Amino acid sequence: MGRAEVRAMRDEIKNDLKEFLRIQNHYFPKLIEDIKKVMDKRNQGYITYEIEVILYMMILKNVCSIVSMQELNDTFNEAECVKNIYKILKLEEKDYLPHYITINECLSRLETSELEKIRKDMIYGMIRKKSFDDAKFLETHWLVIVDGTQLFKFNERHCEHCLTMTVNKGTENEKTIYYHSVLEAKIVFSDELIVSIGTEFIENDEECPTKQDCERKAFKRLAASLKKMFPRLSICLLADSLYACEPVFEICKNNNWEFLIRYKDGSIPTLAEETAAIMKMGEAEEKTVEIDEIYARKPRENVKHKMRWVNDLDYNGYTVAVMELKIEKSGMSKKKKLWNEFQWVTSLRIKGSNAYEFADTGRKRWMIENEGFNIQKNHRYIITHANSLDYNAMKNHYLITQIADMLLQLYECGIKNLKIIRRTIEKISEGLLECLRKLKLTRNDLKFEKMQVRKDYS
């Protein structure tokens, strides 16, 4: 593609904010109205700023990749930015937007369930549109990836819900670290669109518990919450080897969910021994798939995916299958080398016709780490930065980030020229911020006709 064509594509995106609002209206036409319905526990006789101003302002903070609350204060309270936000919300314009202290005071009183309801309605809206049905595993199951991560870390106890970890135990450098973690569930709508569907905070109930909360305990609560919110959703759970255990199998069975879980020999020794014995006897089923991978500045590589699996294994009354994948690459020298190998345990029956789909899907668990936590931690939202020291407000900041991330991913996928002109995630947020602060939105900019969004996942 020539420079003139790239320039023309850049010129087509004249108002990033208008395009963002167009995508928001297409997928979530009632989002602003839903935000207005949030139960506001502040004394209504003393408030200056409506709840929708505070919440939508925080969504835009994340969309524009503003890290700190002080930076938000300095950046958003410019005349044109203030006018644009009130115009989007269809409210009578005020001279200023709320100060970050006002925002944090509001978020400290806001029930997290209010934001979870908004997210649930957004997910339902995306599922009902049928636009993402081709992302279903085996044309039936929605892939839900679960993983935990650490959010905030302190040298002193932050609150009674802090988790603790002692490092350099028994030495003069012994130190206790206080931290907060979260267990996140993300639904896969495509390889480029993985959004939050459920959140469970890993937290202690009291200051010095006999046993600390952990990821597996949090999963029980998360699973119950997901089943309550999406009772009929056909789910296939993707998770790491921590979840290869009987309690997780039982939860999936009771919820009518399937699972495809990374498996290590030490996870369930008896199952590993039985699988190895059957494979050694040559009774496992096998399939090899060859794919040519082409890179821009590298030689073409032939990649072999060698799969072996055993169905109908019994583990304490649960019928499971175990799959082994070995990947071999051959470069220009034609010298074969083993690149990687994986194992999974699944509740589904594997066949030769779908074996590669199992292997390809099983490797997608890394997406929650890359598309989810890595980008959110290090590139765009910096979710490890505490925007408030109030624990409830900290939770609400995190949930608002997940809502904003859903909107921003849809914007990136829906405006195909963004990828063609190779605009980075940092530049995308910068472009939205510039438009919010400097371009004047008109009434026509906020009139949205029915449209067809062509998703670009290439």
pLDDT tens across 353-396, in order? 999 999 999 988 776 666 667 788 877 888 889 999 999 999 99
**What does residue 200 show for φ and ψ, rounded to 5 degrees?**
-130, 120
CA nearest neighbour of 237 among 371, 405, 362, 138: 362
pLDDT of res. 374:
79
Distance CA 412, CA 431 (A): 12
Buried (b) or exposed (e) across 117-130, using 16+ Cβ within 10 A?
A: bbbbebbeebbeee
Tokens found for residue 161: 């819900």
Q: All domains of the chain, ordered by start, with CATH?
A: 3-114+395-446 (no CATH), 141-373 (3.90.350.10)
Query: Mean pLDDT of successive 10-residue segments in the chain (458 residues)?
Result: 53 77 94 95 90 97 94 93 95 94 96 97 94 94 94 91 90 91 94 93 90 95 98 96 95 98 87 92 90 66 89 95 89 52 94 94 76 77 91 96 95 72 76 92 80 51
pTM: 0.91
